[in-house]
A = this chain, B = another copy of it.
Amino acid sequence: MQKATLFATLEQAVVAGDKQAARATLEIAHAADIAQAIHEFTAEQAVRFMSLLSLPDHANLFGYLEPNAQAEIARVMTRNDLAALFSQMEADERADLFNRLSKEDQHALLPGLAQAEREDVRRLASYPEETAGALMTSDYATLRGHWEVRKALKRLRLEAPDKETIYQTYVIDGDRHLIGTVSLRELILANPDRLIEDLMRTEVVSAKVDDDQEEVTKKIRHYDLLALPVMDSEQRLVGIVTYDDAMDAAVEEATEDAQKSASVAKLDAPMNQVSGWELYRKRVFWLVLLVFGSLLSGAGIAYFEDTIAKYVALVFFMPLLVGSGGNAGSQSAALMVRALATGEVAMKDWAKVLGRECMVAGALGITMAVAVFALGLFRGGFEIAIVVALAMISVVVAGSLIGLCLPFILSRVKLDPATASGPLVTTIVDATGVLIYFGFATFILGL
């Protein structure tokens, strides 16, 4: 269905307060698409539309809305309606929403929830952002080892409507220690009389509750999991992270890295939703900070003012040399940041990677030097050509090595390697390049 048509249909249903029309839209469009259309509504319109739906449909649709939109809509709902919605939402989404409410709304909401739900929300909402705990849900299915397959299947059938997944189940002992996993595929293929403990896989991959979400997504990808169980410090099962949330987290991490790689601080919302003011705030810090880096280049130039005054032709080659160094450095930095993020390269590989980089950078430098030597001959004569060629090799090698090492160093001191962004590397390499270039010039031209 066309987006515009869908929007018009929804709007009509809201204006008419037509329950039947509102519910019919769920038959002809996917909830994810209806959610997208609702993003164009005001919060009041959205509440009015969703009040026309059954509570389970309302909760399902609500789960597809952007977190910011959820919070905005929750703010204009009555407390009773919000409490009812809360009890129907998936545990992880509910906790995320709770964290976006004001302290006042949080306190007003909690008494309206059942005891178990209240505790579940409090617990899930308590984990720091971007950890396994913040990503996990408590809606998972558990089995016991002494059950027969028949009993397990019966239980799953009963619990299915409330669980985020029943395709992967977790076998626990009396203390909630995870002792194995069984997939629904294995269950329906097994003899109904078999015991779960004879069927389950005991080699279990899991995460700790305070693991970084990057670790979680790497594990889910590496082992091709539907869901990853999460344990507390006493090795008890406290939740699972499902593949779809892990996929969203992986894309988010990549976006964050892409922004950092251009010296932009992490945005709190998707690009189309952030305000100009937020964009300004997220960009100005690094831009101003990098001014101080550029001052080094300026100071370098000032230091060699005499050289420049004598051979103004040297200035012609400056953007070329300094720029090439910065470009080579950006390349190395981006390759390394991404390789560290995906786990393709680990900290312990640095010596091997550095060795290869020296060779590659040397080869790149020589290639560039050959090109630039001809140009130097043409514009400044033999001596200038020599200066420019030698400077080019040195600047490209220096730039590449700076770009390669910076992410490693940052990672070593527990900073995010992605901070070794293109602009940061370029600024550092620029200053280095100026010193190398005019240093060579002063030395070779005998100034």
Contact = CB atoms under 8 A, between A and B. Distances in A.
A434 B319 CA distance: 10
Interface string A150-191: 000100110011000011000000000000000011001100
A445 interface: no
Interface string A339-365: 100101100010001001001100110
Q: How large is the interface on A (under 10, 10 to 19, 20 to 34, 35 or more residues)?
A: 35 or more
A335 interface: yes
Contacts of A359: 276
Given A247-B243, A330-B422, A423-B326, A345 B30 contact: no
A288 to B, nearest CB: 6
A283 B331 contact: yes
Contact of A422 (B157, B279, B423): B423
A363 B281 CA distance: 10
Nearest to A340: B271
B324 A284 contact: no
A62 B161 CA distance: 37
A419 interface: no
A335 B264 contact: yes
A259 B360 CA distance: 16
Contact of A368 (B288, B320, B330, B423): B288
Interface in A305-354: 305, 308-309, 312, 315-320, 322-324, 326-328, 330-331, 333-339, 342, 344-345, 349, 353
A251 B29 CA distance: 29
A288 B371 contact: yes
A250 interface: yes
A224 B32 contact: yes
Interface string A360-377: 100110011001100100
Contacts of A426: 323, 326-327, 422, 426
Interface in A242-277: 243-244, 246-248, 250-251, 254-255, 257-259, 261-264, 270-272, 276
A415 interface: no
Interface string A372-408: 1001000000000000000000001000000000000
A16 interface: no
A4 to B, nearest CB: 12
A53 to B, nearest CB: 16
A70 interface: no
A287 interface: yes
A188 B157 contact: yes
Interface stretch (A105-113, A117-125, A291-299): A291-299
Contact of A271 (B319, B345, B396, B431): B345
A104 interface: no
A150 to B, nearest CB: 13
A286 interface: yes
A28 interface: yes
B339 A272 contact: yes
Nearest to A298: B316
A148 interface: no
Contact of A264 (B161, B331, B345): B331
A409 to B, nearest CB: 18
Contact of A259 (B271, B288, B335, B423): B335
**3 interchain residue pairs of minimum CB distance:** A262-B334, A297-B319, A254-B254
Given A250-B250, A291-B371, A330-B423, 11 more contacts: A160-B185, A184-B184, A243-B247, A251-B342, A254-B257, A258-B258, A270-B344, A271-B335, A271-B339, A283-B360, A286-B331
27 contacts: A153-B188, A157-B189, A161-B189, A188-B188, A224-B244, A254-B254, A254-B257, A259-B338, A261-B262, A263-B327, A264-B334, A279-B335, A279-B356, A284-B364, A284-B367, A286-B327, A287-B367, A291-B368, A294-B319, A295-B320, A295-B375, A298-B318, A308-B315, A326-B423, A327-B426, A422-B422, A422-B423
